[in-house]
Amino acid sequence: MSQATEFKRVSLQNWEVESLRATAFHDPDTQIASNNWWSESTNTEPETQVVQSKFGERRYEGSFAGGKLTLLLRPGRIDWLLGADIGEEQEKLKDAIPSAGQFDVICPTFTELIERWLTTTAPKLSRLAFGATVLLPVTDRVAGYKQLSSYLPSVELDAENSSELLYRINRPRYSQSADPELRLNRLSTWSVAAFDERFVSMTGDQTTVVKSDKVFACRIEVDINTSPDYSHKFVPPNSSVLFKELVNLGMEVIDKGDVA
């Protein structure tokens, strides 16, 4: 990963994906036939399946687009999650920053997966959300704050004499692809994260983990979701079109920063 050295907004290809999320809410009483969701959406079979009948939870996991994909089902809620896949067999973790890949590459692939699911086998939904956590490597905390300043025009930040920044804001808009009365929440959270860089030394059957210096990254978390006050349901193909709008709004925040 290349580090940000100039304190101005960078292109989407500079951001690394820590995680991506699609969340769908449905009526808890709806009967969900999810046995074929994974295979029809990914054209593969999950590597692991876990059922917790007591809690009504089902989890499917497997490799996807160079990362680790999870389908999690709970009463009234469905989550598709994509994150970094750190193999246990790696002898050396060259980057402490967890990344599933470049945002401009991974996000379209993930979006296509969710749109395929929403168009074919997803149930009738009451709410829909897109979430992303992205990282931009920087040299240190001060550089991270200076970098974030270019994305936060409403925040006067003293980068040299500040710490523990956590800026969170919601700037709602109304849908352009669905009902114009549908409010879309544009929630974003801004911070600088520190990660421990670890090196793994393997000698025979013995494994030793050695920590080195911390590495830093600007972190943006976006949660673009439909208002809970909206009473109508989302059905195919409208739900797929709406999800694409949510993704585009998330990309706009990451690209342009905290704008109305």
Model confidence pLDDT, tens digit, residues 96-152: 788 999 999 999 999 999 999 999 999 999 999 999 999 999 999 999 999 999 999
The answer to whether position 85 is within a domain reads no
pLDDT at 34: 74
Stretches in the chain below the pLDDT threshold 50: 2-5, 88-94
Cβ-proximal residues to 258 (8 Å cutoff; 6+ apart), any chain: 151, 152, 153, 154, 155, 167, 169, 171, 188, 190
pLDDT at 9: 96
pLDDT at 31: 77
The answer to whether position 160 is within a domain reads yes
* Number of domains making up the chain: 1
pLDDT at 56: 86
The answer to whether position 74 is within a domain reads no
Report pTM: 0.90
The answer to whether position 59 is within a domain reads no
The tokens for 23 are 């969340």
pLDDT at 28: 79
The answer to whether position 211 is within a domain reads yes
pLDDT at 89: 39
Q: Which amino acid is at 22?
A: A
Q: Which of 99, 127, 137 is nearest to 20 (CA)?
A: 99
The answer to whether position 218 is within a domain reads yes
The answer to whether position 68 is within a domain reads no
Domain limits at 197? 14-22+90-256
Q: Which of 232, 226, 254 is nearest to 17 (CA)?
A: 254
The answer to whether position 200 is within a domain reads yes
pLDDT at 90: 40
